[in-house]
Structure 1
Amino acid sequence: MSVSAVVPMESNPEVFTELAHKIGLSSVLAFNDVYSLTDPDLLSFIPRPCFAIILLFPITEFYETERKRIDSQSSELYSEFGENEKVLWFKQTIKNGCGLYALLHSIGNINDEYLQKDSTIYNFFKEAKNLNVKERADLVQVLEKSYSSLANQGQTEAPEALDDVSLHFISFVKSFKNDHVYELDGRRNSPIDLGQSISPENTDVLLEKNIIDKIQYYMDNADEANKYNFSMMALVPSF
Structure 2
Amino acid sequence: MGLNYSFANFVKVVLVVRFHRIYIEMATETLIPLESNPEVMNKFLQKLGVPSKWNIVDVMGLESEMLSWVPRPVLSVMLLFPVSNAYEEYKQKRRK
TM-score by shorter chain over 0.5: yes
**Structure 1: tracts of 5 or more residues without a match:** 73-239
Query: Structure 1 residue aligned with 2:89, among 43, 62, 65?
Result: 65
Q: Secondary structure at the match of 1:35?
A: coil
- The CA distance in 2 between the partners of 1:53 and 1:30, in whole Å, is 11
- The CA distance in 2 between the partners of 1:44 and 1:64, in whole Å, is 34
For 1:24, the aligned partner's letter is G
For 2:64, the aligned partner's letter is P
- The CA distance in 2 between the partners of 1:65 and 1:54, in whole Å, is 23
Q: Give deviations 1:26-75, integer Å, cap 9, x for gaps.
A: 122110001112x1100000012322222221111100111122232xxx
Q: Match for residue 57 of structure 2?
A: 32
Q: Secondary structure at the match of 2:45?
A: helix
1:17 aligns with 2:42: yes
Query: Structure 1 residue aligned with 2:74, among 24, 44, 50?
Result: 50
Where does structure 1 differ by over 6 angstroms across 4 or more consecutive aligned residues? none
**Structure 2: tracts of 5 or more residues without a match:** 1-25
Larger strand proportion of the pair:
1
Q: Secondary structure at the match of 2:51?
A: coil
Cα-Cα RMSD: 2.2
Count of residue pairs the alignment pairs up: 67
Superposition pairs of residues 1-239 of structure 1, within 5 angstroms: 10-37=35-62, 39-72=63-96
For 2:35, the aligned partner's letter is E
Q: Give deviations 1:130-149, integer Å, cap 9, x for gaps.
A: xxxxxxxxxxxxxxxxxxxx
Q: Secondary structure at the match of 1:30?
A: coil
Q: Give deviations 1:145-203, integer Å, cap 9, x for gaps.
A: xxxxxxxxxxxxxxxxxxxxxxxxxxxxxxxxxxxxxxxxxxxxxxxxxxxxxxxxxxx
Q: Match for residue 23 of structure 2?
A: none
For 1:13, the aligned partner's letter is P
Identity over aligned residues, as a percent?
37
| Post-superposition offset of 1:22 | 1.5
- The CA distance in 1 between the partners of 2:90 and 2:27, in whole Å, is 27
For 2:40, the aligned partner's letter is V
Q: Secondary structure at the match of 1:66?
A: helix
TM-score by length of 2: 0.59
